[in-house]
A = this chain, B = another copy of it.
Amino acid sequence: MRVSPRLLQRAAKSIDKYALYVPQSGVFPKGFKVGAIASGVKKNGALDLGVIVNTNKSRLSSAAAVFTTNKFKAAPVLASKQVLEAVRGKGINAIVVNSGCANSVTGELGMADANEMVSLVNTQMGGTPNATLVMSTGVIGQRLQMDKITNGINKLFNENRFGAHFEDWLNITKSICTTDTFPKLISSKFKLPNGQEYTLTGMAKGAGMICPNMATLLGFIVTDLPIASTALNKMLHHATNRSFNCISVDGDMSTNDTICMIANGAIETQEVKEDSEAFEQVQEQITQFAQRLAQLVVRDGEGSTKFVTVNVQNSLTFDDAKIIAESISNSMLVKTALYGQDANWGRILCAIGYAKLDNLKSLDESKINVSFIATDDSEPRELKLVVNGVPNLNVDEERASQILALNDLEIKVDLGTGSETAQFWTCDLTREYVTINGDYRS
């Protein structure tokens, strides 16, 4: 394979991101072990198959997932949906995931392969059916090499290649990467209102779009907190709606996108239910955790040089705040202006103006305020571009240049029509993005 100078440059750049965003240690929930292996599906011999196992037997686990809304759903998405529905989110004890082949647009044979992955893990776990979720990412339109996958799964279990140390969690995170320049692994301890501690660990893979892959997004969150399956399902949808569904690299959505979560209840405390005191607090903790994980995907956006928070405030409705944040975040003109470090309020207003709102009253042209916000400690933090619908024609250009030169910055839009807020995270559109997605053939 010919490696272009640009890809080498990109590889060199990725070292910085690795140092910045990959932890050296972590905290991991009780009652989980993980294993990863190089099955041979990835041609370069890298890790490409992983299994997360719940070892806690004291309670039945809860699981939930949010799947792609793309009409073309990959076989593993359909298989995992079936499993989750069959057991109503209860008793899921494993997630098996492979990279290198997305098992998408593979028809009935692909469905059989996805189901076979589930069966192989179920068998290794003791034979209970519907206890395993399956995910795949990589090339689409190709069958899985089931001999390699089968050998890999059996080897993981038969040689007991599972562990619960930092390196084990880092390795399984690496095994789901495709074009990611760094593995996305985070973990934190949280407290319940009663003082009880619990742990969240999350892994994600980002929007890797090198031909003929698509921008598959996978995210896993595991916790040792006991959460009722209906409550978990509600929390994960809430969190995903405010995290993984609020990021924009290029606006495309793949056939394989999946965010899933298992709560195994390995710590001894009262189960969190929808009507329990802890529900709101845990939901908020999971949401913020999911945001951190989702933001790492944007930081690894292909070719990107900037991480931009689009903060739409004081909207009549949350949905409209989000629609406007999304419209700005996906606008090619806004994204190229960010790359060009140009305080282009016109492009931002334009993207706001063509957003397809649910309620036209969310937007009042005479009330809108648009600013850039510096994310470092420099002052003034806020640079006003549009004030009550009127462009600020005396923008301090020098200050604008300073803020736009930052790697991290915020676009604040105050709609002034209500009190709802939504955030999106986006990156700039660069020549490098076009190079990666246009020049490369696998």
Binding site for B on A (CB under 8 A): 69-72, 104-105, 107, 140-142, 209, 211-215, 250-255, 331-333, 336-337, 339-340, 342, 344-347, 349-355, 357, 360, 363, 365, 386, 389-391, 393, 428-431, 433-435, 437-441
Cβ B438 vs Cβ A336 within 8 A: yes
Counted per complex, copies of this chain come to: 2
Docked pose: A353 CA to B107 CA in angstroms: 15
Could you name 12 residue pairs across A and B whose Cβ atoms are closer than 8 Å?
Answer: A72-B352, A140-B391, A141-B346, A214-B347, A215-B350, A251-B332, A255-B353, A336-B433, A337-B438, A430-B434, A431-B431, A433-B434
Alpha-carbon gap, A429 to B342, bound state (A) = 20
- Closest-CB distance, A196 to chain B (whole angstroms): 41
Q: Which residue among A251, A255, A363, A438 has the maximum number of chain B CB atoms within 10 Å of its CB?
A: A438
When C-beta atoms are compared, the residue in chain B nearest to A249 turns out to be B332
CA of A357 to CA of B70 in the docked complex: distance in angstroms?
A: 11
Partner of A213 from B72, B346, B354, B429 at Cβ < 8 Å: B346
B residues less than 8 Å from A104 (CB atoms):
346
Determine the chain B residues whose CB is within 8 A of the CB of A441 once the complex forms. Answer: 340, 342
Inter-chain pairs besides A71-B365, A214-B350, 8 sampled, C-beta below 8 Å: A69-B354, A71-B354, A141-B391, A142-B393, A214-B347, A252-B331, A430-B434, A430-B438
From B70, B252, B336, B440, contact of A347 by CB (8 A): B252
- Least CB distance, A110 to chain B, in whole angstroms: 11
Asked whether A70 lies within 8 Å of B142 as measured between CB atoms, the reply is no
A149 to B316, CA, bound (A): 40
- By a CB distance below 8 angstroms, the chain B residues around A346 are 104-105, 140-141, 211-214
A212 engages B344 (CB within 8 Å)? yes
**Chain B residues within 8 Å of A336, by CB:** 433-434, 437-438
Cα A428 to Cα B357 in complex, Å, equals: 29
Q: How far is the CB of A208 from chain B (nearest CB, A)?
A: 11
A211 to B346, CA, bound (A): 8
CB-CB < 8 A to A333: which residues of B? Answer: 209, 214-215, 250, 252, 437
B350–A141 contact, CB under 8 A? no
Which residue of chain B lies nearest to A214 when distances are taken between CB atoms in the complex?
B350
CA distance A261 to B214 in the complex (A): 43
Distance between Cα atoms of A440 and B341 in the complex (Å)? 10
Q: Which residue of B lies closest to A365 (CB)?
A: B72
Across the interface, A434 reaches (CB within 8 A) one of B105, B250, B357, B429, namely B429
